[in-house]
Each structure stands twice: as C-alpha cells, then as structure tokens.
A = this chain, B = another copy of it.
Amino acid sequence: MMHFKVIFKTVSVLILILDIFLLLCAGVGAYYEEWAAVRSFLLSIAISGCISFGILFVFRHEKQKTLSTRDGLITVTLSWLVASTVAAFPYIFDGGMLTVTDAFFETMSGFSTTGATILTDIEKMPGSLLLWRSLTHWLGGMGIVVLGVAILPLLGIGGMQLMQAEAPGPSVDKITPRIAETAKYLWYVYVGFTALETFLLVCGGMTFFDALNHSFSTLATGGFSTKNLSVGHYDSAYIDGVITLFMVIAGMNFTLHFRLMSGNFKGIFRNTELKAYLLVFFAASAVIAFSLHGKIYGSVWESIRYASFQAASILSTTGFATTDYEYWTYLGQVTLLVLMFVGGCSGSTAGGIKVVRIATLLKQGFNEMKFLVHPRGVFILKISGYPVRKNIVYAISGFFFLYVCTLLVVTSALAASDIDLLTSFTAALATVGNIGPGFGNVGPAENYAFLPDHVKWILSFAMMAGRLELYTVFVLFTPMFWKK
C-alpha cells in the first residue's frame, strides 16, 4: 500500500519552500523595478501556495507513518516533477515570455543542474528571472546533496531507502549517524562555498549580481550563466581560475569537504574516488593543453587556462564555457567526450556515470582478468580500502548498462526527429549526464531552442531520469512497482 496522502503533504511542503525563494526573487524584481516579473512571481506564489496549503489542510489529520521504499521512490521523482512545474510559472506568467514547453524544459534543466537552455538571448531577460533561473540550479543541487541524505527523512520519509534510491551503489557515506545534523553541516558547506566563490568573483571585478548567479550555478554544477557568452564574457584569467577551482570542488563528494573542515584528513587521502577524480582532471587537462598548444593557443599558459577550465567544466558536468570547443583539435574534443561519460564524484552535485562507478568497474575488469588466469582464485574488490560487496558491484554494472541503453534510446528518439547523429548522441549524453552543452548543434555556442517541442519533453525526461540515477525513475514504469 502506498501512502499518497503523506506523499502529497511532503511535496506541498517542498512547494512552500520554493515559494519562499520565489518571494525573494519578487523582492529583487521590485528592487530592479521589473514590475512585470514581480507580478509574475506573486501570481506564481499565490497559485502554488493556495494549492499547497489546500493539500496540507485537507490531509491535516494524516499522521507520519513508516513509509515504504516505494513511497520514497515516488516522492523523489514527484518532487522533481512538481518543483519543475511550479518553478516554470514565473516564466509563463510574465507576459508569455516562454511557451509552456520551453519554461518546463528550462526549469527541469535548472533543478536537474543540467544547464541546457532554450534562451537565445539571455541578457535580455529581467534580472529577477535570471536570479530565479540560477536559484533552480542551486536548490536542485542542494536537493541532490542534502535532500536524499537528510531533509526528506526529517519530513518523515524513510531515510536509508531514499539514499539507496537517489544513489544506487556505494556513494553515500554515513558520515554521522544523526542524519539531520549531517544535513545541516552539508548545508553549511554548500552555503559557505557559495559565499566564498561570490566574494572571490566580486574581487575579480564581477558585479555582485553576476557573481552570486555564477556561484549558484557553479556549486550546483549547473552551468546557467547570466551572459550569452557564458564565462567567456568576462575574458579574465582570474575569473576563469576561480571558477575552475570551484567547479572541481563542486564535483567532489560533499561529505569529504565536511570531513576536511572537521580536521579528519585521514579518510580523504585513502578515498579512491577523490584520487581518481583528481587524476582524471589533471590528466585530461594535460592532454587537452598539449593538443591545443601551438594549434589553437600560442602560449602554454593560455593552453593550460582554457584546457583546465573546460576539463573541469565537463568533468564536473557544470557546462560553463570560455570558448567554443568545437573549434578545438579532435583530440581535445574527444577528451571532453570521454569526460562527459565519467562525470563527477558521488555525493556531489555533479552528474554523469560518476567516478566511483567507473573506478569500481575498472577494478572489476582487472579482477575478471585475474580470474581468467587463476580460475580458482578469490579476488576482493576494494574501494577506499574497504571491500565492496558483490551486490553493489552488480548494481553498478547494471547501472552502467542502463546508462548506455538510455543514451541509445534518447539518441534514437532525437534521430527520429531528423536530427543528425552527433547532435542526437551528444544531446542525449549532455542531458542524461546533466552536463548541458554537447557537440554539433547543441555545442557550447548553441542552445536547445531549435528543437521541436516533443524533443524538449523527451530531453526534460532524460534530465530528470539522469539526475535521479535512472533506476529511481524507471522503476515507476514497471508494472511490478504498482502491484499490491
């Protein structure tokens, strides 16, 4: 039996939280005297607020029950769906600025921290709406890091099952037994990094507004910018450097940041995922810089600057751009393509397959070879010094296969709408992996506006499914899930 009433109550609370942030944006709109936007924000709050309070009132006698895994799974997907719907209101009510399809695509892209945009002229948008756009990233990113670990259990939804749901595999590290407290600390880390990046960007000459928006976007590994040319607009080595650093940070497991701050260095140096992540980042940056030097950029320094920025941007699945990498060498491009598959660390805001999964599968691959030579040997797979249970390796293998299948299905759906192979495939990769830009017609200098409406819905679904680790969403489509 599923507890739909309690699920609805949970989602209603979520909407009310969103409404607080909408109100904030309305205030900013009033400050900038963007009255159409303010009207739109207030209308959105009024409608969504009424519905939420209505649901909470009607089900006020429903008590918190021990919810099942299934309830948890539904709640997670429903939260992303409903949040994206409510968050789309301001875009739609503001004099029909965007169509319903475009608005939903943009907010799903925001909450899933994908950063794929349908806006063709970003700088024309009212500031308060741009802030809201960056906030969908920031809230979505926080949702991914914190929600699954802490907030939802507080609302009365089973904790561990949800952690499983949001992250099948060995990703969530039980850093303290008190989940609520953990969540609070992760919050602090997230907010702290955002504040620090904002400060550093303002020091580099950015306006406070731009700095805040870009920090929201960076920490969420989102990729929405307030400028048409993305970070390339500022053409500043200092700003590139700051954002590179924070993109790399945002792609790391946030429980590690928390540990670092509480002085626990021991666990960090033996963390397989972190070591692999940094190795991939530096190796990819080096390969790209080497490949571009003398061909695209004259100086070594410039090659390193652009290479490391783009490697960090794609590996962390942020998707910011300082240049159109489609004009790079093919080696530079293919390195980015490989990074698109990898993605960031588990427990971060990054998308992609995740470094820990790749590392586990590589180790498993070596074990298979050992097994071939020594058929009677017993080989233990260790991650961060701990043996990994076979069931988890199993789940990861399954995830990897499902990931590739999803990519091929989404690619086919796009090709069926007469979109060329490279664009279709990388659009699939960029949305399922929550990256944002791909290659071809969805490259870093292009956007997703040209796609037919039904493709935008398919990609919205892909972004959500990718963000929620596929299984969480796909399981809802099995008849078995709905059986009593």
Chain A positions near chain B (C-beta within 8 angstroms):
69-70, 73, 161, 164-165, 168, 291, 329-331, 333-335, 337-338, 341, 361-362, 364-373, 375, 390, 393-395, 397-402, 404-405, 408, 411-412, 415-416, 418-422, 424, 439, 471, 474-475, 478, 480-481
Contact = CB atoms under 8 A, between A and B. Distances in A.
A424 B439 CA distance: 14
B402 A365 contact: yes
Contacts of A478: 366, 369-370, 373
Contact of A400 (B165, B401, B418, B471): B401
B471 A424 contact: no
Interface of A is mostly: helix
A335 B412 contact: yes
A18 B397 CA distance: 41
A82 to B, nearest CB: 22
A19 to B, nearest CB: 32
Nearest to A375: B69
A330 B402 contact: no
Contacts of A439: 421
A475 B366 CA distance: 9
Contact of A415 (B331, B395, B401): B331
Contacts of A291: 416
A424 B368 contact: no
B394 A337 contact: no
B411 A334 contact: yes
B372 A418 contact: no
A105 to B, nearest CB: 21
A137 to B, nearest CB: 28
B369 A474 contact: yes
Nearest to A409: B338
A189 B441 CA distance: 50
A166 to B, nearest CB: 11
Given A335-B412, A370-B480, A398 B364 contact: yes
Copies of the polypeptide in the assembly: 2
Contacts of A420: 330
A404 B402 contact: no
A364 B400 CA distance: 12
A373 B481 contact: yes
B372 A337 contact: no
A279 B441 CA distance: 34
Given A334-B424, A361-B401, A394-B394, 14 more contacts: A164-B372, A330-B416, A330-B418, A334-B416, A337-B411, A361-B397, A361-B398, A365-B398, A366-B478, A370-B478, A371-B395, A397-B397, A400-B401, A421-B422
B69 A372 contact: yes
A416 B361 contact: no
A1 to B, nearest CB: 13
B400 A397 contact: yes
A128 to B, nearest CB: 40
A135 to B, nearest CB: 31
Contact of A471 (B337, B369, B412): B369
A73, A368, A404, A416 interface centre (most CB from chain B within 10 Å): A368
A408 B331 CA distance: 12
23 contacts: A69-B372, A69-B375, A73-B373, A164-B372, A164-B375, A168-B372, A330-B416, A330-B420, A330-B424, A334-B416, A335-B412, A337-B411, A361-B397, A362-B401, A364-B398, A365-B401, A366-B478, A367-B398, A368-B402, A369-B474, A369-B475, A394-B397, A400-B404
A291 to B, nearest CB: 8
Nearest to A419: B330
A414 to B, nearest CB: 8
A481 to B, nearest CB: 6
A369 B480 contact: yes
A421 B365 contact: no
A311 to B, nearest CB: 14
A307 to B, nearest CB: 15
A475 B371 CA distance: 10
A480 B373 contact: yes
Nearest to A472: B372
Contacts of A398: 361, 364-365, 367-368, 397
Contact of A372 (B329, B366, B416, B475): B475
A399 B364 CA distance: 10
